[in-house]
Amino acid sequence: MEEFVVYVLYSEKYRKHYTGFTTSLIERFKSHNKLTTKGWTIRYRPWKVVYIEFCNSKQEALSREKFLKSDSGRRWLKDKLIY
């Protein structure tokens, strides 16, 4: 059974968050920090992982990612995460 990971990255230098999901967190993290040559996340490197959740299905991960990107989800993250 494939496991999905919802993750939140944070750029201390730029004070930006990025939320996404993957089946391979380590490879995806490398992609955000080093491998990708285009896209939104390259502008705010370096990133660190500040939050992860494990999901049992792609649909569950998509739903959770969507919530964390909403206003109430961002507030929930802000209350939960301390840097």
Query: What is the structure's pLDDT at 81?
Result: 82
**In a 3-state reduction of DSSP, which class is residue 64?**
helix
CA–CA dist 23, 58 (Å, integer): 9
What's the pLDDT tens digit per position in 22-66? 999 999 999 999 998 999 999 999 999 999 999 999 999 999 999
Query: What is the structure's pLDDT at 83?
Result: 55
Q: What is the pTM of this model?
A: 0.91
Q: Domain locations in the chain?
A: 4-80
Query: What is the structure's pLDDT at 1?
Result: 76
Level-2 CATH architecture, domain 4-80 = 3-Layer(aba) Sandwich (3.40)
- From the CB of residue 34, how many other CB atoms can be counted at a distance below 10 Å? 11
Residue type, 83: Y
User: Given a cut of 80, is residue 70 above it in pLDDT?
Assistant: yes
Query: What is the structure's pLDDT at 82?
Result: 64
Residue type, 76: W
